Amino acid sequence: MELFYNQEKNFVRIVLSGAMNANALTYACDAALADPGYRLWLNRIWDVRAVDLTAVSTAEVQMLSSYLYDRPDGINLVKVALVAEEPLTFGLARVFATLSATASRNEVMPFRSLTEAETWVCAEEG
C-alpha cells in the first residue's frame, strides 16, 4: 500500500495492488487511517486499478460498505472515490457505492479514471 497526500487539495490517494480479500481490505483501511500523515477531513481516493478482487463476495462488499460507519466525523462525512478499470473491480466498486448510500456516512463514487476521481473529490460542494 502506498499513500500520496495532497494537503493543498485535501485528499489522500491510497494505492493498493495484488490479490486482496475482505480482511485485507479492512486491514488496508485501518492502516491508511492510522498512517502518521493522515489527518481528519481528508477526502480519500482508493486506487484499486492493480487489485485482484475475485476473492471478494457481494456479501463482503456489503460488510465493507458499513465498516467505517461508527468512526468519528472527519473519517466519515468526506468524499471517497474508488478508481477501478477492470470490469469486475469496477462492478464491485459500483455495488460498494450503492450500498454506501445507506450504510455509510461518506459520499462514495466509483470512477474508471484517476483524473475524474481527483476532479470529483476536489470539487466544491454547492
pLDDT digits (tens, 9 = 90+) for 47-92: 999 999 999 998 999 889 888 787 878 788 899 999 999 999 999 9
CB 1 within 8 A of CB 15: yes
Summarised one tens digit per residue, pLDDT across range 88-112 is 999 999 999 998 888 788 899 999 9
pTM for this structure? 0.92
**Residue 114 pLDDT level (bands cut at 50, 70, 90):** very high
Higher pLDDT, 70 or 40: 40
What residues contact 7, with CB distance under 8 A and at least 6 apart? none
Domain ranges of the chain: 2-122
Which of 3.40.640.10, 2.40.50.140, 3.60.21.10, 3.40.50.10600 is the CATH number of 2-122?
Answer: 3.40.50.10600
